[in-house]
Every structure is written in C-alpha cells, then in structure tokens.
Amino acid sequence: MPERLKTTRPVREVRTIQDVEAIEALPYDEVVPARALYDLLRATAECVGDQKAITVLRSEDPEDVGISLSHRELLNEVTRAANMFRKLGLAPDTGPAAFLAPTLPELPALLLGAQVAGVASAINYLLTSEAIVDLLNAEGARILIIPAKSKDEMCWTKADGIFDRVPSLRHVLVMGEVGNLDPATGFTKLEEALAGIEGETLSFDLIADRDTVCAMFHTGGTTGRPKLVQLTHGNQIHAAFGFAQVYGYNETDVVINGFPFFHVGGTMTVGLSVIAAGGHIVIPSPYALRPPAVIANYWKIVDHFRATVISGVPTSIGSMVHSFDEKYDISRVRMAATGGAVLPAAVGARFTETTGIRLFETYGMTESAAAIAFNPGFGEPVAGSVGFRAPYSETRIVAITDDEIRLCPPGESGLVQAKGLQVFPGYLDPAHNKGTLEKDGWLTTGDVGYLTEDERLVLTGREKDLIVRSGHNIDPAAIENVANRFQNVEISAAVGMPDQYAGEVPALFVVPKAGASLDMEALEHWLETELHEAPARPRIIEMIDALPTTAVGKIFKPTLRDLAIEKKVALEVAAACGPVAEAQTEIMRDAKGNILVTVRVVGAEAEGLETLRSALKPLPQTYMVEVGEG
C-alpha cells in the first residue's frame, strides 16, 4: 500500500465548536498521517511543490529578497541541511544545534533541517552573553549557528570565546561572508560545511516519531537554572494542524510572519502552520517587526506580496495603524491574527476601524507549541475572546484551593488549563514541571479566563498580573480597557504598587497618541467615573513615552512593577524627608526572586531617614535606606 502524504489544509470550514467536534469524530491518524516534521514537508513538496513556501527579505524593501523557495525547493534545502547536521554529529540523543541569529535567508531551512537530524534550539539573541552561555550549557549544545560580523555584529560578538565557556560545543557555523577562518578556531563557514552535501534524499534513516523531541525554546528566567521547553515532532505537527483547521490556512494563503524565529509565534503560529498547509510565508525583515522602518513600510509589503493574512502582537497591531495608507491594495487580506498578550479592546477597535480588516485573536504558549485556542478564520471573531480550543484537545477553567481542583462553570473565571497532543512533554529540567505540567497531561497556563456557553475562551489576564488589594483580586485588564477608551490614550498598562495597608494598589501607566496631548486630570476623573469597582481605581497615573516590551513586542510588566516601586519610594521620601530630599532607587532580586530595594537619599535629616525606614518596613519588599552622595 503506497504511503499516504497529506498537507494540513482544512478538513472542513470551522465556524462553531460543532465544526471542531465534527473534525474530532474522524480517526486522528486518518486526518494527520505525519509522524515527523519531515513528513509535512514531503507532503507539501508532492502536493503543491511548485508553489512558493517561504520568502525572506533582507530589509523593509519588498524588492530586497534574500531567498524565495518553492515547497519542493524548501524540502531540498531542509534535506541538505539535515544531512550536513548529521555529518557533524547531530542526532536526537545528542546536544542540540543552537541558533543565535536573526532570521537571515538561510536560517529557516537550517532550523528545520536541524530538527530533522536531531534537536534545534532557538535562542533569543537579545539576551546578555551570560544568559546565552547559561542556556547553551544547560542544553549541552553541540553546534552553534551564528551570523557573520557583517550580518550582525552583536551576535558575532556574543559568540566570542564561546568554546571556552561552553565545553559541550563542537562546531560553530557562520552564515554570511567572513573572509578566511582559521580551522583551529572551530569556526566554519556555512557554505564550506554544506559543500558536497546533497539534498535529494536523507543520508540517514529517519527514526524520529511523534514522541521524539526535536526543538527547545527558552522561557522564564535567564540565569541560574534556565527554563527550557522541549517540543516533540508530534507537538508541532498537531499545532500546525490545529492552526490550519481553525484559521483555515491552505495553499492559497500568503502570510506575513512578523515574529522572530526564537519564538513559537514565528516558528509555529505563522510559520510551520502555514507551510504545512501548502501556504507561503513572508519574513518582512531579519528582525521581524522590530525596526521602525519595517512598520513604516508594512502595508507596502502587504500589497507587494498580495498577502491574505497579516499578524503581530497587540503592540505591533497598534503601530500598524499609524503607518496605514489607503494607496496600498490590501483587498486580498482576509484576516489579521494577533496573540501573545491580551488585546486591548480600544487597540483592536482602532485597527479594524482604520484598516477595515477583522482581527482574530489566538492563544497559546511555548509549552503548547503556541496552540490552545483560535478564533475561526471562516467564522466571526468575537472581540475579547481568543476562540475555540484546538481539535483533538481540551480546555478547562479551574479554581485551585488547598490542593483541591474545582471545575468552573461557563462564565466563571479561573485558571486556564489545556491538554492535548500539542502540549509539551516537560521542561529539560524536570524540576520546572511542578505547578505547570501535571502527570495526567494537564498544562496550567498561569492565565486567568472563562469559557462562554458556546465554549469560546475569554482571557482576562495573567494570574501573576492580578493586583491583590487587601485580599481583593483586581484584573489589570479591567482598568486598562477603560483607560484605553479615553481620548488620546494610545495604550496603557496597570500593575500593583506596594502599599503598607492593602499590600498593593493599582498603578496605571499611559502612553499618549503620537503628537497628542493628554489631560491627566480629565483622565483621572474618567477612571473614577467609569471604574465602578472602587478598589480598581489607580492610586497613581503616570504618563510615559512608551511601554516596555519584550523582543516580540509583548508588554513587559516586570519593568513597570519596578517603576511602580520607584514611584512609591518617591512618595514616601517626599512625605518623610520633605520636598527638598531626593532619592536614587536600586532594585535587585536575590537567587529566590525576592525583591531587594536600596534607597539612597540626599538632602534629608536623620529623623526623616528614620521615618522613611519605618514607612517602608511594612511593604512586601525588603528596603535598605542609606545616605546618598550629593
């Protein structure tokens, strides 16, 4: 009997949860015959081989194409890369091939090839050198792939002396022009490593199966005990299948992939999920949407490639509004996908009102290969909801008290848990599984939300983002949604500010629209009027130029929490030491994550300093007050 090859194009159009259930009524192996990632690539090469699979731009100019491959050519390049990596000793039971690079033209095929041969690890190149070394040692990296200095000086510099710092490392491959490399250094030109390697067939037996780990992604802390998520072939196959079914990806789609490839948004949500369905992904720059020039030119890129799907985290979606120009043809765009954080209602409404494009929220995490819930591409997106669960998976809402789990009925908020073939087998260090991955396969996401009667998931925030004021749980999103509706507010973020009596109180940081002025007194009155829950009203409101974000554009609230601590200190210094006193605040964390705050005060009397120490002592953090130099 001939081997069956299938792309992941939709089995049926998904509009409701009943459509998801109809897919689940079919035998899984019948609709998803792939056992390894390589099977997905073979299927698209056979079924839509001459159609485009991937295009990588070298800059924001859509004419500046670094590489453009058909599905058949992509399979050839992945096969060639896999054969090279196996020749260099990479296998499923060795340390991984680690990638420390932006999305250069060569990178996507190399990343897939490493997963075919063994395990690939995608590292955030924006991390410090120390954090990168910690990750490489934690995973026992065997091969490191970096860009030439001319391509990315930062990454090149971070790899300096790497063999001395990572004993497991055997090879460093360099993408791009580097001149002559001394073999004694262990650095090898990629083109030399690929010389003589053929891409027609694999040179080794492919024994990987759905349960074989093939990828690792970093999440969580960056020092001490790095948190590394392991993903299997089956995790990624199922995630790709889920996205294709609910979003409706097929061979007619052209998707702008605005995420970095060290993030599952780039490799899965608008990456493998599109390719496996026979579609075409376009990488708008090596640095995704981070360069302002890419956002400025975004709609030109959409027009040039006749994109059908665009994507970005909520902060990127907000930025796209400012560069929108009606002179570009976006008539083929059927949806905009967003995720990675809760989409502020005002940001979503502004985007759709300006562009006419409907926004479809999705929800996932690294531990689920990005796939937990999706708004159906053929259905109607519901504002505020991230949609239905992935086919052949489960989502539930629970309340956990005293080690007991209670299932929440529709409409009641609680912790979101997910289970299915996309859920990872565990962290590289099993100690990290506690509290996240249960023995029965349930993944505790750390997010708070509820299910509607028709089984749509609505997220309200992160469990750790909840502001707990005198035992009262306050959802930051409730504050942010009100603030974002105020005139000239571009975006906002609420966090907890330490308080002697309530434990913490809300602090709100707002960013004004470009070129607009913000009436802070009127904003305060608006919040008092519109926030009907008195404890949710912010104690302080601060205007800032921009919200801090992660490498992929998510709002980074730890920085705002630190800023809230600084604001609290400033208030207490003024109250205890008088308006003339000035303070410098240094915030650190010990090995256990406890917050240590050093306050150096200038222009204060001894009595004032003692009053300040007494005022700060009841706060949840540890404070040390010193006399500063002035």
- Measured CA to CA, the distance from residue 424 to residue 422 in angstroms comes to 6
Burial 540-565 (b: 16+ CB within 10 A, else e): bbeeeeebbbbbbbbbebebbbbbbb
Q: Is the pLDDT of residue 298 over 60?
A: yes
Q: Is the pLDDT of residue 575 over 70?
A: yes
Cα dihedral: 257, 259, 260, 265 (round 10): -100
Q: Are 356 and 421 part of one and the same domain?
A: no
Domain assignment present for residue 560? The answer is no
Give just the sign of the alpha carbon dihedral 124, 104, 76, 277.
positive
Domain assignment present for residue 4? The answer is no
**345 pLDDT tier (thresholds 50, 70, 90):** confident
- Measured CA to CA, the distance from residue 15 to residue 23 in angstroms comes to 12
What is the per-residue pLDDT across 202-241, written as a single tens digit (0 to 9) for each?
Answer: 999 999 999 999 999 998 533 345 689 999 999 999 999 9
**Phi first, then psi: what are they for 205, rounded to 5°?**
-75, 130
Q: What is the pTM of this model?
A: 0.81
Which structural domain range is residue 592 located in?
567-627
**Phi first, then psi: what are they for 212, rounded to 5°?**
-80, 125
Residue type, 246: V
Domain assignment present for residue 2? The answer is no
Domain assignment present for residue 302? The answer is yes
Per-residue pLDDT at 624: 93
- Measured CA to CA, the distance from residue 139 to residue 227 in angstroms comes to 10
Which of residues 522, 555, 588 is at a domain's end? Answer: 555
Q: Are 254 and 351 part of one and the same domain?
A: yes
Residue type, 164: D
When the pLDDT of each residue in the chain is averaged and rounded to a whole number, the result is: 91
- The DSSP bridge partners found for residue 99 are 122, 145
**471 pLDDT tier (thresholds 50, 70, 90):** low
Domain assignment present for residue 386? The answer is no
CATH code for the domain in which residue 308 is found: 3.40.50.12780
HSE of 55 in the Cβ direction (CA atoms, 13 Å)?
Answer: 23
Which of residues 446, 462, 478 is at a domain's end? Answer: 462
- The DSSP bridge partners found for residue 622 are 596
Per-residue pLDDT at 39: 97
Higher pLDDT, 465 or 564: 564
Q: Are 210 and 147 part of one and the same domain?
A: yes
Per-residue pLDDT at 30: 94
Q: Are 448 and 470 part of one and the same domain?
A: no
- Measured CA to CA, the distance from residue 390 to residue 448 in angstroms comes to 18
Domain assignment present for residue 385? The answer is no
Q: Are 576 and 547 part of one and the same domain?
A: no
Per-residue pLDDT at 4: 73
Do the Cβ atoms of 408 and 450 come closer than 8 Å?
A: yes
Q: Are 296 and 278 part of one and the same domain?
A: yes
DSSP 89: T
Burial of 478 (0-12, 13-18, 19+ CB in 10 A): middle
Q: Is the pLDDT of residue 144 over 60?
A: yes
Do the Cβ atoms of 520 and 543 come closer than 8 Å?
A: yes
Q: What is the mean pLDDT of residues 456-473?
A: 75
Three-state secondary-structure class, residue 235: helix
Domain assignment present for residue 449? The answer is yes
Q: Are 199 and 335 part of one and the same domain?
A: yes
Nearest residue to 426 via CA among 263, 264, 233, 229: 229
Which of residues 521, 555, 589 is at a domain's end? Answer: 555
Per-residue pLDDT at 447: 85
Per-residue pLDDT at 222: 34
Lowest-pLDDT choice from 185-194, 304-313, 585-594: 585-594
Do the Cβ atoms of 539 and 508 come closer than 8 Å?
A: no
Q: Is the pLDDT of residue 270 over 60?
A: yes
Domain count, the chain: 4
Nearest residue to 291 via CA among 321, 316, 322: 316
What is the per-residue pLDDT across 373-415, written as a single tens digit (0 to 9) for each?
Answer: 999 999 988 888 899 999 999 999 998 766 678 899 998 888 9
The pairing of strands 503-512 and 489-499 is antiparallel
Q: Is the pLDDT of residue 590 over 80?
A: no
Q: What percent of the chain has pLDDT over 70?
A: 96
Q: Are 78 and 121 part of one and the same domain?
A: yes
Per-residue pLDDT at 461: 65
Per-residue pLDDT at 179: 79
Q: Are 323 and 451 part of one and the same domain?
A: no
CATH code for the domain in which residue 489 is found: 3.30.300.30
Burial of 61 (0-12, 13-18, 19+ CB in 10 A): middle
Per-residue pLDDT at 223: 35
Per-residue pLDDT at 244: 96
Q: Is the pLDDT of residue 301 over 80?
A: yes
Lowest-pLDDT choice from 134-148, 155-169, 393-407: 393-407
Burial 573-604 (b: 16+ CB within 10 A, else e): beebbeeebbbebebeeeeeeebebebbbebb
Domain assignment present for residue 544? The answer is yes
Spatial strand order of the sheet with 582-589 comes to: 582-589, 595-602, 622-627
DSSP 432: G
What is the per-residue pLDDT across 239-259, written as a single tens digit (0 to 9) for each?
Answer: 999 999 999 999 999 999 998
Lowest-pLDDT choice from 87-96, 546-555, 559-568: 546-555
Q: Are 163 and 215 part of one and the same domain?
A: yes
Lowest-pLDDT choice from 108-112, 332-336, 397-401, 477-481: 397-401
Give just the sign of the alpha carbon dihedral 326, 329, 333, 337.
negative
Q: Are 434 and 492 part of one and the same domain?
A: no
Q: Are 424 and 284 part of one and the same domain?
A: no
Q: What is the mean pLDDT of residues 264-277?
A: 95
Lowest-pLDDT choice from 50-64, 168-182, 351-365, 467-481: 467-481
- Measured CA to CA, the distance from residue 394 to residue 484 in angstroms comes to 33
Do the Cβ atoms of 531 and 479 come closer than 8 Å?
A: yes
Q: Is the pLDDT of residue 195 over 70?
A: yes
Per-residue pLDDT at 1: 37
